[in-house]
A = this chain, B = another copy of it.
Amino acid sequence: MYRYKCIVSYDGTKYMGFQIQDELPTIELKLKEAMYKMLKEDIKIYPSGRTDRYVHAKGQVFHFDIDKNIPVNGINAFLPNDIYIVDVTMVDEEFHARFSAKAKEYRYYINQGEYNPLLVNYAPNIKGLDINKMEEALKLLEGTHNFKGFASAQIDPRKDTVKTIFEIKLNVRGVFLEFVFIGSGFLKYQIRRMMGLIIEIGRGKESKTKITEVLDKCDPSISHKVAPGCGLYLYKVYYESM
């Protein structure tokens, strides 16, 4: 058996998310279809995690196993042009795209400039945000916390919701705001719900003490805003040595 690690980049605009949902357009379905066309085998795909509807990826990672040693670099020819395998490496059987991941980097982009229909699916258009207020609030999210208050309300109550965010940066890039989150792992909806509240704070509609309240009370119903998926990018998955 051979195990392959793949780095995949995609434009999430036309997809219902990563995870397969019957015949609906999903990243996983397109990957499985391409694999089937190339390998004539039904391949199981193990991603580092799912991404939501409309969320993009620069460096999503998945692994798969196959009992032949074959070149898999040609897979891009079988994929739609908005999904692209950046790298394929044969890895040790101990490697697991999800369990071996040490950290993940997500980025969130906001267009502060004029409304532009060419950018709307890549960076939501939000104006009048106070950068200092957002930076102060973002500092409260760094470190180890129980992030249950920012998780999906449907989260499994047995799930461990204590995670560490190693670093958060807010960079101004022309008319764009770039939020960088590097953490041990993120819960379902966590970044979009953190961003939803950060945007409210940037607008002056909430104060940064709300961050502390959501973290302390561990109740997903306290903060309601969820930032649009189209601004979110799974940027990189970090592993020990590759």
Contact = CB atoms under 8 A, between A and B. Distances in A.
Interface in A1-60: 9-11, 56, 58
A84 interface: yes
Contact of A117 (B84, B117, B118, B122): B84
The winner among A56, A58, A81, A117 for most chain B CB atoms within 10 A is A117
A116 B9 contact: yes
Contacts of A10: 117-118
Number of this chain's copies in the complex: 2
Nearest to A122: B118
Interface residues of A, number: 16
B117 A82 contact: yes
Contacts of A180: none
A51 to B, nearest CB: 13
Contacts of A83: 117
Interface string A172-205: 0000000000000000000000000000000000
Nearest to A233: B118
A11 B122 CA distance: 12
Contact of A118 (B11, B118, B120): B11
Given A11-B118, A84-B115, A84-B117, 18 more contacts: A9-B116, A9-B117, A9-B118, A10-B117, A10-B118, A11-B117, A11-B120, A11-B121, A56-B118, A58-B118, A81-B117, A81-B121, A82-B117, A82-B120, A82-B121, A83-B117, A84-B116, A118-B122
